Structure 1
Amino acid sequence: MIKVALIMGISGACRYCELTNLKSTDVKDAGSYLLVSIPDTKTGISRKFTIMEEGFCVNAIKYAENIFLFAQFA
């Protein structure tokens, strides 16, 4: 879980509150990349970023899939 938060935080330049308010519906799996939407930001402007399937991001996709599967059953 910490690895996913780190990768998402760095990739999207996210603040702590943006990461904690993130929902599984804000992350869309598009096959080779993840599309992450940050709807509620400090500045009031929503933004989107992608995590591509390259290098360390492959691990982010693997860990994110496991976390979202776990969250659905919790």
Structure 2
Amino acid sequence: MNTLPTHTTLTVPARLIQAGDEFTLHRRTRTAALHAYRFTVGCVRIRFTDGGEAFLDHDAPVDVCRPVRNVPCATG
């Protein structure tokens, strides 16, 4: 039986990080609590689910593991 993926891996600019995205930062796996939002010109702020936050260049490439929210339904 085939199973559908529950996560997909993408490379996105830091400004497009969404709540629930998992990514590695400083050799630790982090999960975004909220969408990234503009902090200063060219910089975004990302809050983590386990507390803490990071400030990244808004164009910095980040490899994220994003939950698939809309799983297609197939019937046989």
TM-score by length of 1: 0.35
Q: Which structure has the highest helix share of the two?
A: 1
Q: Which has the higher contact order (CA 8 A, sep 6+)?
A: 2
Greater Cα radius of gyration, structure 1 or 2 = 2
TM-score by length of 2: 0.34
